Structure 1
Amino acid sequence: MLAGLIPLFWPALPPLSDLPGHMGRWHIEMTIGQSAVLAHYYAFAWAPIGNLGMDLLVPAFATVLPFEQAAKFGVMLIPLLTMAGLLCSAHEAHGPVPPTALFAMPLAYAWPFQFGFVNFALAQGLALCVFALWLRLGRQRRFALRATIFVPIACGLWLAHSFGWMMFCLMAAGAELARFRSEKRTWHATFIAAAVQGVPLALPLLVMVLASAGQGVRADDWFNWGAKSLWFVSILRDRWAAFDIACLVPIVLILYVAARSPKLGFSALLGWPALLFLFAFILLPRLALGGAYVDMRMAPAMIMLGLLAIAPPKGGGRFAQVLAVVAVVFFSVRMTATTVSFALRSVEQQRELAAIPTIPRGASVLSLVSRPCGGAWSDLRRDQLPGMAIVRRDVFTNDQWSLEGQQLLHIRHAAAIPYLADPSQLVYPSVCPDIGSNFVTAIREFPRAGFTHVWTIGFPPAALGRDLQLIWTNGSSALYRVRR
């Protein structure tokens, strides 16, 4: 587990795509009461929603650590909890932890985590940990105790992230189906008994139903097989496409060997949850309840559980030794590659963040970030970098999310309309202008009364107009002052 944290040791800012934007929001929620400037630009009011994991955790850590260190510490907890949950769940299902569990450990750095879905990733790690507790109490047949303590646990998971709670419900349901089927119950009796065991987990569902009353269910982009294929291929997506895809080969091979070899097999306690995750991956849309990439988040989880479900090799011997060596090599290679990738990304990000000291405190910054069509495999992780200007200079910038029911932050800076919130900071080539802004149009038409500065990331310095004065550049990005 400690070796699995090595990629995060070096970067001062963990190079996760959405993390700077989240850090901007956390800074606002912590300091808005003491900052008249932030209170002019933003409003924040606490409320119980299913997306508060790191929003609660990082401010707690910031009481004893500087804010940016507190955020990094919170991020480092995510893979630590994920790996702990994987090992503990494997122990509860098998007794001895099988060597194949090491194939699952690098998936703590899977694409949803690299994307910066930190609240979701935290909830997923917590869900894996409490799933091990669910299995343990079930093995000990302490069902009354389990039902009692999992009412607050389920609510806590939902507060961390509603999708993490849903994943835990699927894991618990799969484990109960496996347990009751092993007792030779009929399918009808099995489903009824499993549903009864799941009742203590259902309180967040009632909250969600009441909160969405009269609004309907918002979902879109169902059964997009092209996107789902991409999500699967991108499970280990990081920096080098050929390498990341090649690393899927041993994972697929070990699952195939486990299904075919008499020396291996699958634990039903983990196999059933993996199958339910597979069905969820197939059935879920890309967009739901205000969130994006909903189905994508299931892909690494179903593979992790599938790998955990592989039983320890029967009889030991040379086969078991070879399998263990291959697993250790795979884990070591992935962690080494992730460490190198994160170090390189940290250098790339710091080069862009050098603009922030030249921004006056309390400024209003129009951020325009260059993006390729469709997104490159090696994402430059700069879409939300302007959020660090909020953290360090108490500015307004147009990169914050404003999704009803997903964030508690509200943007009050009406003078910035239409460049108010994400994704207005994203600029795609003109051949794919489906979202975001057009660079030429934005420079020509942005409301001068709403912004004091323009920060162009990925656009070399240029003469953009008489009222835009260049004050900083690194050759590929630039910062301009708006002359009134």
Structure 2
Amino acid sequence: MGQGPRARTLSPITLGVIAAVLALVPVLAVSIPGFSDAPAHMARHHILAMASSSTPLSHYFVVHWQWIANLGEDIPAVFLAHWLGGDLATRLVSAAIAPLTIAGILALSRAAHGRVTGSAMLATPLALNQAWMFGFLNYCLGIALALLTAAWLFSRQRERLPEQAILGIAALVVWTAHMAAWATLLLLAAANELARLRSIHDIWPAIRRNLPLMLPVIPLLIWRAHSHGANVTWIYEDVVRYKLTVFAGSLRGTWMKLDLALLGAIFLSALLALRWTGRQRQMEPRLLIAALLLAAGALAAPLYLLNSWGTDVRTAPIAIMLFVMAVRPAIDLRKERLVCLIGLSLFLVRLGSVTWAWASRSAELEHRLTMLDAVPRGGKLGYVYVRDSCDGWALTPDEKLASYAVTRRDAFVNTLFMVDNARLLTIRDPKFQERWTSDSQRVTLKCPEDRVDAVQLQERLQAMRQDHFDAIWVSGVPAGELPPVPGYRVVRHFPKQAMLVQRR
């Protein structure tokens, strides 16, 4: 009797709720979240919300709302941006993604095992995985929704019309969030059925039960009917090494040694939990099959799929997450509680490292953004970015930082995503549409010399001059090392940062 309150306090569901609430901290505790792509997402949300009004943005951009499989964060963020602005709206929706993912982990664990397990707690650090750190926010929100849908699918007892309708609607919602999240949901559903197959006669009932999940094929065919460009691209020099790096980098984003050590600690803790199960069947078959299917998908995925980069980078952490979650709970409750506490401890390490990495740079990034005061409101800002070093492990928002010019100066900037067949907005000027979208800000840092490609830098600056940008922000090159740009002068500079504006 004396251990009852303690057991409840240390129950996995209680610890999971604590983790979900704490997962809000990294995004809300800093003024500039450290997601790599978040500034560009934020700018897009602001444009989608404001471009139809009589703002300078309407002179640069045209909005094309369409039903595509890449709207997970866009829909709620754009809705909120009408009242809160793109910056705050994006932060609030982004903050909810990790807690929702943890909720999906807990729900799926309960559906698969009959209760929330210690292995689910071991999987919680993977809610803050490298795809999340990259800022693949539509995808990450879609994965959270896919996990929640799979939890309902694993536990449903009937397949009457109302349940089938709910499943079809859920599939459409997940697909709308991101197509890769829908593919993950399909693999989870397939694993759910494969684990229960006993004979060939079970195949058709299994297909029938899951047919509503295929409802998104209709909008998919409509969306891709007029697609163009390379849908699949392989660009691997050493595919084995690259794929190993993808899996090893599942927690990439802060410091390499810490991220790798934490992933190793999760792996060792999962092995310990596996040894402690005390059961003949140590792994839950549905989660294990789903993990194997996702791992195979990550290994087979090309570099670009449907014009989208990094399918394997997105999928690998989810495969590892499901492998860990598949470990059955220990029969010995003391050992199971210890696994839960280990999981919470590992989550707190991940949470702390991400929050520290972001908070330690937030003031510096805000200081850099004061450069935008020199940009004319409603003007055109060209951004040139050279990365600081050849060490590419840490993921930061520096490459897209100038996107804040959209929300703070209503200015055009050349950092926005313009993926073929997934464009919710386009640039009115066809020449700018062709030349000045995402990646046009990059100038190569030659490695291992740590030397800027001077020719490329000169060409980029001259191209911006020819297209009459009102201001040019060069990041990663000291002002004294910049080549002269006729008609422009340096008005602000910080270490390796310079703002040039047109002479008037």
TM-score between both structures, scaled by the size of structure 2: 0.88
Map Cα deviations across residues 1-49 of structure 1 (whole Å, 9 max, x no partner). 1122222231123211101011111111111111352222111111111
Report how far residue 113 of structure 1 moved: 0.6
Moved more, 343-352 or 110-119: 343-352
Match of 2:383 among 362, 367, 379: 367
* Distance verdict in 2 for CA 1:294–1:362, change over 3 Å: same
Q: Indicate the residue corresponding to 1:207 in structure 2.
A: 219
Asked whether the 8 Å contact 1:286–1:295 carries over to 2, the reply is: yes
Counterpart of 2:492, as a letter, is: W
Q: Identify the residue that residue 192 of structure 1 maps to in structure 2.
A: 204
Q: Which residue of 2 aligns with 1:130?
A: 149
**Which whole-Å CA distance do the structure 2 matches of 1:119 and 1:271 have between them?**
26
Match of 2:364 among 348, 361, 366: 348
Match of 2:3 in 1: none
> Which of 261, 265, 268 is equivalent to 1:253?
268
Instruction: State whether structure 2 residue 497 is matched by structure 1 residue 477.
Output: yes
Amino acid at match of 1:377: W
The 3 A distance-change label for structure 1 pair 226 and 413 is: farther
Alignment of 1:197-236 (within 5 A): 197-213=209-225, 215=227, 218-221=231-234, 224-236=239-251
Corresponding residue of 2:97: 78
Q: Which residue of 1 aligns with 2:13?
A: none
Q: Distance in 2 between matches of 1:351 and 1:461?
A: 17
Shift of 1:259: 5.2
How far apart, in 2, do the equivalents of 1:16 and 1:351 lie? 18
Contact 1:7 1:338 in 2 (8 A): yes
Maintained 8 Å contact 2:41/2:90: no
Task: Indicate how the Cα distance of structure 1 residues 67 and 39 shifts in structure 2: closer, same or farther if over 3 A, else same.
Answer: closer
Q: After superposition, give the CA deviation of every residue in 1:363-410 in whole Å (9 maximum; x if it has no partner).
A: 111100112687611233211111110111111111112112222111
Could you say if the C-alpha distance between residues 59 and 46 of structure 1 is closer, same or farther in structure 2, counting changes exceeding 3 Å?
Answer: same
The answer to which of 414-423 and 242-251 deviates more is 414-423
Unaligned runs of 5+ in 2: 1-19
* Closer, same or farther: CA 33–285 of 1 in aligned 2, 3 Å: same
> Quick check: 1:170 aligned with 2:183?
no
Q: TM-score by structure 1 length?
A: 0.91
Counterparts of 1:80 and 1:11 in 2: how far apart (Å)? 17
Q: Give how far 1:303 is off.
A: 1.1
Residues 271/144 of structure 1: CA separation in 2 closer, same or farther (3 Å cut): farther
Q: Give 1:444's aligned residue.
A: 462
Contact 2:139 2:180 survives alignment (8 Å): yes
Which shows bigger deviation, 70-79 or 335-344? 335-344
Deviation readout 1:413-444 (Å, 9 max, x if unpaired): 345476411111011125699x9x92122123
Is the 2:288–2:323 Cα contact (8 Å) retained in structure 1? yes
Gaps of 5+ in 1: none
Residue in structure 2 matched with residue 51 of structure 1 by the alignment: 70
Partners of 2:440 and 2:235 in 1: CA distance: 25
Q: Cα distance 1:174–1:417, how it changes in 2: closer, same or farther (>3 A)? A: closer
In 1, Cα distance between equivalents of 2:396 and 2:214? 40
The one-letter code sitting in structure 1 at the alignment partner of 2:247 is: F
Is contact 1:351-1:474 (8 Å) kept? no
Query: 1:237 maps to which residue?
Result: 252
After TM superposition, give the deviation of residue 163 of structure 1 in Å: 1.2
Q: RMSD value over aligned CA atoms? A: 2.5
What is the identity, as a one-letter code, of the residue corresponding to 1:170?
Answer: L
- The CA deviation at 1:103 is 1.5
Kindly state the Cα deviation for residue 81 of structure 1 after the two structures are TM-superposed.
0.7
Partner residue, 1:428:
444
Instruction: Return the letter of the residue paired with 1:382.
Output: D
Change (3 A) 1:27 1:262: closer
- What is residue 168 of structure 2 aligned with on the other side? 151
User: 1:455·1:478 contact (CA, 8 Å) conserved in 2?
Assistant: yes
Deviation at 1:296, TM superposition (A): 1.2
Relative to structure 1, the CA distance from residue 316 to residue 430 in structure 2 (aligned partners, 3 Å threshold; closer, same or farther) is closer
Q: Does the CA-based 8 Å contact 2:51-2:58 persist in structure 1? A: yes
Cα–Cα, structure 1 residues 191 and 483, in superposed 2: closer, same or farther, change >3 Å?
farther
Q: Contact 2:26 / 2:33 at 8 angstroms: preserved in 1?
A: no
Cα distance in 1, alignment partners of residues 390 and 318 from structure 2? 24
How far apart are residue 227 of structure 1 and its match?
2.2
Amino acid at match of 2:44: R
Q: Any conservation in 2 of the 1:370–1:426 contact (CA below 8 Å)?
A: yes
Match of 2:487 in 1: 467
Note if 1:21 corresponds to 2:40: yes
Flag the 1:452–1:411 CA change in 2: closer, same or farther, 3 A.
same
Query: How far did 1:293 drift?
Result: 0.3
Write the deviation string for residues 62-110 of structure 1: whole angstroms up to 9, x where unpaired.
3453442221110011001101110011111112211121111111110
CA distance, structure 1, for counterparts of residue 133 and residue 180 of structure 2? 17
Deviations 1:159-189 (A, max 9, x none): 11111111111111111222x23xxx22x34
**CA contact 1:15–1:349 (8 Å) conserved in 2:** no
CA–CA distance in structure 2, aligned partners of residues 258 and 332 of structure 1:
19
Instruction: Work out whether residues 415 and 440 of structure 2, in 8 Å CA contact, stay in contact via their aligned partners in 1.
Output: yes
How many corresponding residue pairs?
Answer: 475
Please, which of 16, 23, 31 is the counterpart of residue 4 of structure 1? 23
Percent pairwise identity: 28
